[in-house]
Amino acid sequence: MAIRQIRLENDEILRKRSREVEEVDDRIKELLDDMIDTMHEYNGVGLAGPQVGILKRVIVIDLYDGNLPLKLVNPKIIKQKGEQEVDEGCLSFPNEYAKMIRPAEVTVEALDENGKKVKIKAEGLLAQALSHEIDHLDGILFVDKMIPGTLHYVDPNEEEK
């Protein structure tokens, strides 16, 4: 387990499309564990492969709600429904947030860390996080989807909300 370096907003790797994982082997498991550690280190709710410099279709999510963190390989949104307006940030854009519209509900198919097929139905914050992280795998960043004029900086030393 290790903390990996997070790639920041101007890094071109964030704009590249990630490749499918062909086999969930020990290297992928180690990558997923490192991504969990890295996400926790920076208090994020999600992280995608390209953000640690790896162009593979892997994401992790932790909503800190008592459920285990999600580790997903080759995640794909197969259904989405409704809309929610959210205020969103990204570990590659420290302290920056913007408002945007995300689907209210998504259904995602993926492989888990053991290579087993899983289907996740999500709403609210989890639907938002899955949409955000899966976008990363196609080189799409939250600033691409923001409602113009809503980008704002939040001082990490000030209490948010």
> 86-105 mask for Ni ion (x: CB under 5 A)?
----x---------------
Residue 25's alpha-carbon distances to 32, 117, 158, in angstroms, are 11, 15, 42
**Taking the complex as a whole, how short is the minimal distance between the CB of residue 23 and Ni ion, in angstroms?**
26
Encoded amino acid at 83, one letter: E
133, 158, 159, 160: the active-site residue: 133
Known catalytic residue at 133: yes
Decide: is 28 part of the binding site for Ni ion (CB under 5 A).
no
Site for Ni ion in 2-21 (CB under 5 A): none
Q: How far apart are CA 38 and CA 43, in angstroms?
A: 9
Query: Smaller CB distance to Ni ion: residue 25 or 42?
Result: 42
Angle 146-77-70 (CA atoms, 0-180°, nearest 5)?
90
Catalytic residues: 133
